Amino acid sequence: MAMAINYVSDINPSKGSWKIIVRGDKIQASIKRSMIMTYRNLLNEGESYTSMTFGVGLNSGDYKPTSHAYKINFLNITKVEVNRDASIPLYGFSLQVMVI
């Protein structure tokens, strides 16, 4: 059975499996330094993505590029695919790189 697609605004740590399509909403996403090369060529500004199998944590600390209460954390098993759905708004998505 296919996993239901969730809205970014609904993400919280209450469940372990999420599937989102991102372009219009904003949420911080963190990728550990050791996994940057895995995702570097998969993520491009202006694209829409379907992402699943990632962690969710509290968006706290000094660096908060979005107002969302939570952030997603990419894992070794996180899946990211370009989504070509024309109904997803073109603007409102931005990628920012921060090396910790």
Which domains can be identified in the chain, with CATH numbers? 8-82 (2.40.50.140)
Q: What is the pLDDT of residues 39-98, one digit of tens each?
A: 888 888 777 888 889 999 999 888 888 889 999 999 999 999 888 776 666 655 555 666
Given the structure tokens 């697609």, which residue do they identify? 5
| Global model pTM greater than 0.75 | no
Contact call for residues 39 and 23 (beta carbons, < 8 A): no
In three-state secondary structure terms, 12 is coil
40 DSSP 8-state letter: T
Q: How far is the C-alpha of 58 from the C-alpha of 38, rounded, in Å?
A: 24
The whole-number pLDDT of residue 64 equals 86
